């Protein structure tokens, strides 16, 4: 597809641009496809730099304010770069009752990492998420795609140390 708008960004490789163009082309004529496009582009790049949002707006022929508005509304979308390992700790009710608060404070103390933040070496990103639907295993933490159930503040660091 011919875009009137070029994209240059250190985190976006030419190969990624090709895949992004394909996603945009596929969804261009579908109404209401912004969220799908943003999700797939975030999967490709890892996050949504502002330049990418502008690029998507031009590709979908939508105002930048509309696409930015959608991206900032939904918690799935992040405009900041992420670490190599995504640590999601569950802040749902069941996990809260079972002591996730202590687990989070242990992670924060050990890696100097706030919820929503990334370590300086981009090893971990920490996110406090709402119920992962695995309440039977509470308290729950998901690292990348691995679900760890029944974690405690003493166990959590040895689990995380395995992700280098």
Point out which residues bind other proteins (CB under 8 A): 31-36, 38-39, 69-70, 73-77, 91-94, 96-99, 101-102, 105-106, 109-110, 129-138, 140, 147-149, 152-154
Cα–Cα distance, 22 to 33 (Å, whole number):
14
138 lies in the site for ligand FES, by CB under 6 A:
yes
Query: Phi and psi at residue 25, in whole multiples of 5°?
Result: -60, -40
Cα–Cα distance, 96 to 11 (Å, whole number):
36
Q: Which of 20, 37, 132, 160 binds ligand FES (CB under 6 A)?
A: 132
How many residues bind to ligand FES according to rule CB under 6 A? 12
Q: What DSSP assignment string belongs to 63-123?
A: -HHHHHHHHHHSTT--SS---SEEEEEE-SHHHHHTTHHHHHHHHHHHHT--TT-B-TTSS
131 lies in the site for ligand FES, by CB under 6 A:
yes
State the nearest-atom distance from the C-beta of 136 to ligand FES, in Å.
Answer: 8
Task: Kindly tell me which of 35 and 128 has the beta carbon lying closer to ligand FES.
Answer: 128
Cα–Cα distance, 128 to 112 (Å, whole number):
15
104 lies in the site for ligand FES, by CB under 6 A:
no
Candidates 68, 23, 59; CA nearest to 41 is 23
128 lies in the site for ligand FES, by CB under 6 A:
no
Interface contacts to ligand FES, rule CB under 6 A? 90, 92-95, 131-135, 138, 140
């Amino acid at each position: 597809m011919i875009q009137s708008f070029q994209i240059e960004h250190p985190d976006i490789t030419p190969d990624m641009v090709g895949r992004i163009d394909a996603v945009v082309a596929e969804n261009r004529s579908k109404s209401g496809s912004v969220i799908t496009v943003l999700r797939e582009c975030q999967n490709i790049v890892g996050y949504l730099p502002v330049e990418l949002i502008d690029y998507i707006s031009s590709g979908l022929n939508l105002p930048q304010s509309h696409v930015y508005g959608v991206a900032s509304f939904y918690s799935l979308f992040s405009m900041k770069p992420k670490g190599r390992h995504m640590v999601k700790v569950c802040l749902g009710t069941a996990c809260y009752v079972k002591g996730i608060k202590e687990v989070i404070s242990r992670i924060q103390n050990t890696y100097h990492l706030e919820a929503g933040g990334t370590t300086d070496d981009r090893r971990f990103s920490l996110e406090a998420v709402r119920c992962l639907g695995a309440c039977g295993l509470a308290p729950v933490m998901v690292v990348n795609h691995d679900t760890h159930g029944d974690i405690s503040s003493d166990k959590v660091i040895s689990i995380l140390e395995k992700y280098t």
